[in-house]
Amino acid sequence: MSYSSEIAPVPKQLTIVIGLCVVGAMAFGLAISFYNNILFDRQLNEMLAQNDKLRSDIISGYKYLDYLKSDQYKDKYAKQNLNRINPGEKAIQFIADENAITFDDPNQEKDGTQREAIFEETLRGVPVFEQWQWYFFQKEKIEQMKQRL
């Protein structure tokens, strides 16, 4: 038996190349299938988390609905919005005093950081929408507020 160093005939080479292509295509299909399974598992986990969140939202909605149906809420609503009180109750009304005493000494000079802190604290009490209106349409109002502080 002698070993010959001849190249395999063309049909044999063609069969090997076609076989390798088929095996490669199968491996590629397997990789795609594995990737799709990973994406499906990820989407399934996201859907489960979303279901849990929706479930908790529904439960809190039912609790809030029960609160809105309760006598406690009806009493609170009547007192706050309709100015009604129960028999035997007394109402206290708080009125803002224009001449309220402040603890800031107007004669004391404030440094820049104190003034800035007071300005920012004052702005926190103003709704953001109104702040933007001042910024775009009434810049002099911002300057007046800074001067007062």
Residue pLDDT, tens place only, 43-91: 999 999 999 999 999 999 999 999 999 999 999 898 888 888 888 888 7
**Number of domains into which the chain is organized:** 2
Residue 91 lies in a domain: no
Residue that finishes a domain, picked among 65, 84, 101: 65
Note whether residue 93 is domain-resident. no
For residue 24, what is the enclosing H or E element? helix 10-69
What are the pLDDT digits (tens) for 10-29? 888 899 999 999 999 999 99
pLDDT of residue 81: 86
**Which pTM was predicted?**
0.42
Residue 16 lies inside a defined structural domain of this protein? yes
In a domain, 137, yes or no: yes
Classify burial at 142, counting beta carbons within 10 Å of its beta carbon; exposed 0-12, middle 13-18, buried 19 or more.
Answer: middle
Backbone angles phi, psi at 125, to 5 degrees: -80, -10
Asked, for residue 85, whether it belongs to a domain, the answer is no
Residue 5 has pLDDT above 60, yes or no: no
Residue 147 has pLDDT above 80, yes or no: no
pLDDT the model gives residue 145: 76
- pLDDT over 70 at 149, yes or no: no
Structure tokens at 60: 């809190």
Q: Within a domain: residue 70?
A: no
Which pLDDT tens digit goes with each residue over 91-123?
777 777 666 555 455 555 566 777 788 878 887
Name residues whose C-beta falls within 8 Å of residue 122's C-beta, 6 or more positions apart in sequence.
Answer: 145, 149
User: Where is pLDDT greater, at 4 or 41?
Assistant: 41
Count Cβ neighbours within 10 Å for each residue of 18-32 and write b for 16 or more, e otherwise: eeeeeeeeeeeeeee
**Residue 83 — left, alpha, or beta (φ > 0 → left; ψ -120 to 50 → alpha)?**
left
Boundaries of domain holding 48: 10-65
Specify the DSSP element, H or E, that contains 51.
helix 10-69
Residue 86 lies in a domain: no
Task: Answer yes or no: is 22 within a domain.
Answer: yes
